[in-house]
Amino acid sequence: MLDLDIVVFGATGFTGRLVAEYLLTHHTELRVGLAGRSAEKLERVRRELSESLPDAADAPLIVADSTDRASLSEMCRQAPVICTTVGPYALYGKALAEVCAASGTHCCDLTGEATFVRWSIDTNTEAARASGARLVHCCGFDSVPSDIGTWMLQQEAIARFGRPLDHVSFALGRSRGGASGGTIASMLELMKQAGSDKAMRRLLVDPYGLNPEGERSGPDGRDRVSMGWSEDFDGWVAPFLMAPINTRVVRRSNAVLDWPYGRDFRYDEVVACGGGLKGFQRAAQMTALFSGMGAAVLPPVRALLQRALPSPGEGPSREEREAGHFTAHLKGRGVDSHGAHVELEGTVQGFKDPGYGETAKMLGEAAACLALDDSPVGGGVWTPASALGDAYLDRLRAAGMVFDVS
């Protein structure tokens, strides 16, 4: 049927509604449908959206449930691109990924669950190659600033020095944002699985855990788990909660694109906390938070967190999202084609809450890119940089994010 360009699946959830609002506001050239498991909730979301966006009143509604494959297949017949925020993805994302791969429907999502992405690579690659479906995981705050930021820096290095950089470090700098119930539920689900499954724990600590089979080794070691001083970022640094997914996505981009950054490329991520006593204290706090999240493999800690943190459907208010922001710094090192040492710095910035305001933009633009732009790759299970590359970088810049090289 293909009456639509993009279907937002999960439009009744906290983030899905923001993505729908983003697309209906900024991509009026696209026909966008709203999908979810409850017709009544979908009607309500459409009514509320149309109070400020009159065009939203005409948005078609599609009832689909991730436990009902027939409804997912029917949804995939409505549009060439499904943009899904139905998570935790390990619980609710698998059937849709399989249906998209089989039916040749492109799909982008917000997962940050490495175990789900590994499952998708192992299960869907063959069918997606055959059907032409591009499945693009991790199109939110995890892992777009890392993946597209590194892509940008390496493109510039190749243009300026004739060679990619050997080593890129990424540091999350000043940032302000909240967490939604769906994100908390996804993190807790990941920790629950890790607590009971040894193979999963091994995957989560494998720096090359998302690389293709046979390509799962390289010079990078495990992620940072303690605080320390960084010359690169001129201050104290702490472990970054999202490094375990982001670093794997960046390494996978390099591997699936046939090593444009080189086989010896190294990549790491930290949180930059600043210098002096304040920086030291912040790094100590961030490190304690990181260790605390690790303790969520234990059921009593998970139960405690579940009670204290937002429930599914809840998240930061509009005011909080508007007051949010983030800045990430990239520092790259290498040698030029004459063997001389070279350095390059990059900045990625967003001016709303990273996990929601900016994430709605990142996922919305990924969906627009899948719907409108020529892709450098065919069907398969991809990362943002490998499937969307320069066209996506241009879109994110045009949408107001900063991706800058100096």
Ligand X SMILES: NC(=O)c1ccc[n+]([C@@H]2O[C@H](COP(=O)([O-])OP(=O)(O)OC[C@H]3O[C@@H](n4cnc5c(N)ncnc54)[C@H](OP(=O)(O)O)[C@@H]3O)[C@@H](O)[C@H]2O)c1
What is the rounded CA–CA span in Å between residue 37 and residue 109? 17
Instruction: Find the shortest distance in angstroms from Cβ 333 to ligand X.
Output: 28
Radius of gyration over alpha carbons of the chain, in Å?
20
| Helices 243-256/384-398 angle, 10° precision | 110
The residue range among 170-178, 179-187, 376-384, 392-400 that interacts with ligand X, by the rule CB under 6 A, is 179-187
Does 112 contact ligand X by CB under 6 A? yes
Beta carbon nearer to ligand X, 41 or 321: 41
**Number of chain residues interacting with ligand X (CB under 6 A):** 34
- List the one residue from 104, 181, 260, 262 that touches ligand X (CB under 6 A): 181
In 297-313, which positions are buried (b, 16+ CB within 10 angstroms) versus exposed (e)? beeebbeebeeebbebe
Does 67 sit near ligand X (CB under 6 A)?
A: yes
**Toward ligand X, which CB reaches closer, 189 or 268?**
189
Per-residue binder mask for ligand X (CB under 6 A), 25-44, x = binder = -----------xxx--x---
DSSP string, 314-374: ----HHHHHH-EEEEEEEEEEE-TTS-EEEEEEEEEESS-TTTHHHHHHHHHHHHHHHHS-
* β-strand partners of 36: 63
Per-residue binding string, ligand X, 249-288, x by CB under 6 A, is ----------------------------------------
Question: Are the CB atoms for 68 and 43 separated by under 8 Å?
Answer: no
Q: Pick the binder of ligand X from 6, 14, 235, 316 (CB under 6 A).
A: 14
Check residue 95 for interaction with ligand X (CB under 6 A).
no
What is the C-alpha to C-alpha distance for residues 42 and 282, in angstroms, rounded to an integer?
Answer: 42
Distance (Å, whole) CA 42 – CA 59 = 10
Positions 196 through 255 that interact with ligand X (CB under 6 A)? none
Judged by CB, which is closer to ligand X: 13, or 384? 13
Among 33, 140, 145, 384, binds ligand X (CB under 6 A): 140
**Is position 10 an interface residue for ligand X (rule: CB under 6 A)?**
yes
Stretch that binds ligand X, among 60-68, 259-267, 271-279, 288-296 (CB under 6 A): 60-68
Integer Cα distance of 19 and 382 in angstroms: 21
To the nearest whole angstrom, how small is the minimum distance from the Cβ of residue 65 to ligand X?
A: 4
Task: Compute CA distances 346 → 116, 150, 229, 284, whole Å.
Answer: 30, 8, 20, 26
- Footprint on this chain of ligand X (rule: CB under 6 A): 10, 12-16, 36-38, 41, 65-67, 85-89, 92, 110, 112, 140-142, 180-183, 186, 312-313, 315, 355, 359
